[in-house]
C-alpha cells in the first residue's frame, strides 16, 4: 500500500544496580536490543542482562532525524559523563567512539606506535595481511556484504564529513602540496599504463558517462544552487592551457559519429522513466491519502503513529492528510505532553 515504515526510536538503557545509563538509537525498535556501546556491553556481561531496563525516549521518522535526536539526548542527559553513564561518543551517524573521544590524539599516537612496533618485529606480517585481504575480496558474498555496509548513505556522509574536517585542519601550503602530489601520482600512473589498458579505460569511462545512472546524477548535481559557484571557482583556479585542453577534448568527443544522438536518446529515456515513476508515486500517494481520510472520519481520537502503523506509510503522507483535516475544521490537534505522542480529536470533542 505504501512504503514500509519502521518505528525508529531513541532509547535509554539503565543499570538497576548502580543507576548508570546509556543513550542510543534503534532504526527498527527491537525490544531485545539494549545497545552496542563497548562499556555498556561489558557492564551487561558483569551485572547480567536481567539487571538492565530499556525505555523509549522519543520516536523518529527518518535516519537524519534519528541521528540528530541521539546527539541531542546524549548532550541533554550528559551521557558522556563516565561517572553517571556509559556513552563514549556524542552520537549521530555511525558508531565511531574514537573520533569524539576527549583523548583522541593520545589514542591515535598509541595505536600508531603499537603498529610500528608490530611490523618492525614481524616484517612478514604486512605481506600476510595484504594477501589475506586480497583473497577475502575474491569471495563474491563477502564483497557484497562489504558494499552494503561501507556504501550505506550514512557511512558515506560520515566519511565525507571526516575527510572534509581533516582537509580543513591543513594549512593552505599543505593543501597545495597534497594536490600537487596527487596530480603527479595520477600522471605517473597514466604514463605507466600500456596502450591496451589506456584504451580499455577510455572505453569504460565513455560507457559510464553515457549510462542512464550517470546522466541522472549529472542532471541532479547541476540543479544544486552551489554548482555554478563551485564550477566558477574550479575554472578560475585552473591554468589557461588546462582549460583549452578540456575544451578541445570535449569538442573532439562531440564530433564522434552518433555521439550527440546517443546522448539525446539516453536523456529522453531517462526523462520518460522519471515521469512514469512520478505518476506511479503520485497515484499511490493519492490512494493512501484517500483511505486515511476515510478511516479518520470513523475515529473519535488517534495519534500519528497509530495511523502510520495501520497503513504502513510515511510520516509525510499522514501529516499532509492531518493538516488538510485541521484546515477544514474537522479535527483538532491536542497538546504536547513530554514524550507522549500528540492526540488528535474531532472538533466536537474536548482536546486532551
Q: 55 pairs with which residues across the strands?
A: 12
Q: What is the pLDDT of residue 99?
A: 56
pLDDT of residue 96: 52
Answer yes or no: are the C-beta atoms of 89 and 75 closer than 8 Å: no
Pairing mode of beta strands 331-333, 52-60: unpaired
**Cα-Cα end-to-end distance for the chain:** 31
Distance CA 281, CA 273 (A): 12
CA 101/CA 108 separation, integer angstroms = 11
C-alpha 140: how far from its chain's center?
24
Contact of 8 with 59, CB cutoff 8 Å:
yes
Per-residue pLDDT, 268: 79
Q: H/E element holding 109? A: helix 104-121
CA 22 to CA 81: how far, in whole Å? 11
The model's pTM is: 0.33
> 13 and 21 in contact (C-beta within 8 Å)?
yes
User: How far is it, in rounded angstroms, from Cα 319 to Cα 125?
Assistant: 58
Going residue by residue through the chain, which has 352 residues, state the pLDDT in tens, using 9 for 90 and above.
Answer: 444 444 789 999 999 999 999 999 988 888 889 998 888 998 999 999 999 999 999 988 888 888 889 999 999 999 988 889 998 888 875 555 555 555 667 777 788 888 888 878 887 888 888 888 888 777 777 777 777 777 777 777 778 888 888 888 888 888 888 888 888 888 877 887 888 888 888 778 777 777 777 767 776 776 776 666 666 666 666 677 777 777 777 677 666 666 677 777 777 777 777 777 777 777 777 888 888 888 888 877 878 777 777 776 667 778 888 888 888 888 877 766 555 667 777 776 444 3
Residue 150: helix, strand or coil by DSSP? Answer: helix
Q: What is the pLDDT of residue 3?
A: 41
**For residue 204, which phi and psi values (nearest 5 degrees)?**
-65, -40
Q: Are 212 and 266 in contact (CB under 8 A)?
A: yes
Domains, the chain, ordered by start: 8-102 (3.40.1440.10), 275-346 (1.10.10.10)
Amino acid at each position: 500500500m505504501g512504503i514500509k515504515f519502521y518505528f525508529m526510536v531513541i532509547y535509554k538503557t539503565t543499570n538497576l544496580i548502580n543507576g548508570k545509563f546509556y543513550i542510543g538509537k534503534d532504526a527498527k525498535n527491537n525490544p531485545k536490543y539494549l545497545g552496542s556501546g563497548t562499556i555498556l556491553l561489558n557492564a551487561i556481561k558483569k551485572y547480567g542482562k536481567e539487571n538492565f531496563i530499556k525505555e523509549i525516549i522519543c520516536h523518529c521518522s527518518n535516519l537524519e532525524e534519528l541521528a540528530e535526536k541521539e546527539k541531542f539526548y546524549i548532550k541533554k542527559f550528559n551521557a558522556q559523563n563516565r561517572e553517571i553513564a556509559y556513552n563514549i561518543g556524542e552520537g549521530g551517524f555511525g558508531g565511531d567512539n574514537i573520533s569524539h573521544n576527549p583523548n583522541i590524539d593520545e589514542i591515535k599516537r598509541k595505536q600508531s606506535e603499537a603498529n610500528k612496533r608490530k611490523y618492525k618485529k614481524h616484517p612478514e606480517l604486512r605481506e600476510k595481511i595484504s594477501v589475506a585481504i586480497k583473497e577475502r575480496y575474491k569471495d563474491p558474498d563477502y564483497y557484497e556484504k562489504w558494499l552494503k555496509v561501507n556504501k550505506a548513505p550514512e557511512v558515506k556522509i560520515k566519511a565525507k564529513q571526516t575527510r572534509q574536517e581533516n582537509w580543513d585542519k591543513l594549512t593552505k601550503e599543505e593543501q597545495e602540496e597534497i594536490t600537487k602530489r596527487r596530480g603527479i601520482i595520477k600522471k605517473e600512473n597514466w604514463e605507466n599504463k600500456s596502450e591496451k589498458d589506456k584504451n580499455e579505460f577510455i572505453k569504460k569511462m565513455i560507457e559510464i558517462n553515457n549510462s542512464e545512472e550517470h546522466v541522472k546524477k549529472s542532471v541532479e548535481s547541476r540543479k544544486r544552487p552551489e554548482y555554478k559557484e563551485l564550477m566558477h571557482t574550479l575554472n578560475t583556479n585552473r591554468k589557461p592551457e588546462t582549460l583549452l585542453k578540456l575544451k578541445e577534448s570535449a569538442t573532439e568527443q562531440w564530433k564522434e559519429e552518433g555521439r550527440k544522438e546517443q546522448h539525446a536518446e539516453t536523456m529522453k529515456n531517462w526523462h520518460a522513466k522519471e515521469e512514469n515513476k512520478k505518476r506511479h508515486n503520485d497515484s499511490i500517494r493519492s490512494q493512501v491519502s484517500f483511505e486515511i481520510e476515510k478511516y479518520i472520519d470513523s475515529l473519535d481520537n488517534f495519534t500519528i503513529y497509530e495511523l502510520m502503523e495501520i497503513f504502513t506509510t510515511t510520516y509525510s503522507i499522514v501529516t499532509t492528510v492531518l493538516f488538510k483535516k485541521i484546515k477544514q475544521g474537522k479535527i483538532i490537534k491536542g497538546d504536547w505532553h513530554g514524550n507522549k505522542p500528540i492526540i488528535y480529536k474531532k472538533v466536537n470533542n474536548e482536546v486532551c
